[in-house]
């Protein structure tokens, strides 16, 4: 019995420093930071009209955004999500066309303003270096 008790204490004393060393290493070690993928920013196409319902974004309720082919599209409400997902190519093209058309009309408006002299202001002759 005495031999077993001595053996128990010997094993405990031999193993204890290893456990303390392991605990000390983990408490003093540098924390491991897992690499994270860079956050991808998906551009919003900026459509003002829902491609599904043809209603103005925000006129029906809380607008919804949905991603398709690396672009974010605006829908007028959660009810339109299911239809958009049923044919995303169709509805994304409708939204892209609406944005292109609105940008085209903005360019036409700017051109008309320039023709009327309301666009860029001309400098007086003294400022032009005459």
Q: How many domains does the chain have?
A: 1
What are the average pLDDT values for consecutive 10-residue runs of the chain, which has 130 residues?
Answer: 62 57 55 73 93 94 94 95 97 96 73 56 54
Residues 6+ apart with CB under 8 A from 37: none
Q: What is the pLDDT of residue 38?
A: 77
Residues 6+ apart with CB under 8 A from 2: none
Q: What is the pLDDT of residue 125?
A: 56
Q: What is the pLDDT of residue 117?
A: 57
Residue 62: give the domain boundaries: 42-117
In a domain, 11, yes or no: no
Strand-pair partners of 65: 74
3-state secondary structure of 44: strand
In a domain, 91, yes or no: yes
In a domain, 85, yes or no: yes
Question: Sign of the C-alpha dihedral, residues 27, 28, 29, 35?
Answer: positive
Distance of CA 27 to the CA centre of its chain: 36
Q: What is the pLDDT of residue 114?
A: 59
In a domain, 1, yes or no: no
Q: What is the pLDDT of residue 11?
A: 59
In a domain, 20, yes or no: no
Q: List the structure tokens of 4.
A: 């077993």
Q: What does the alpha-carbon distance between residue 14 and residue 2 come to, in Å, rounded to a whole number?
A: 18
In a domain, 113, yes or no: yes
């Amino acid at each position: 019995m005495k031999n077993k008790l001595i053996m128990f204490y010997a094993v405990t004393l031999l193993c204890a420093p290893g456990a303390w060393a392991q605990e000390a290493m983990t408490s003093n070690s540098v924390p491991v930071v897992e690499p994270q993928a860079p956050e991808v920013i998906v551009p919003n196409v900026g459509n003002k009209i829902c491609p599904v319902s043809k209603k103005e974004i925000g006129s029906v309720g809380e607008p919804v955004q949905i991603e398709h082919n690396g672009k974010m599209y605006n829908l007028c409400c959660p009810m339109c999500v299911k239809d958009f997902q049923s044919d995303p190519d169709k509805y994304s093209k409708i939204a892209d066309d609406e944005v292109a058309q609105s940008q085209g009309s903005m360019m036409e408006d700017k051109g008309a303003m320039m023709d009327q002299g309301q666009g860029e202001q001309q400098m007086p002759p003294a400022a032009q270096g005459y």
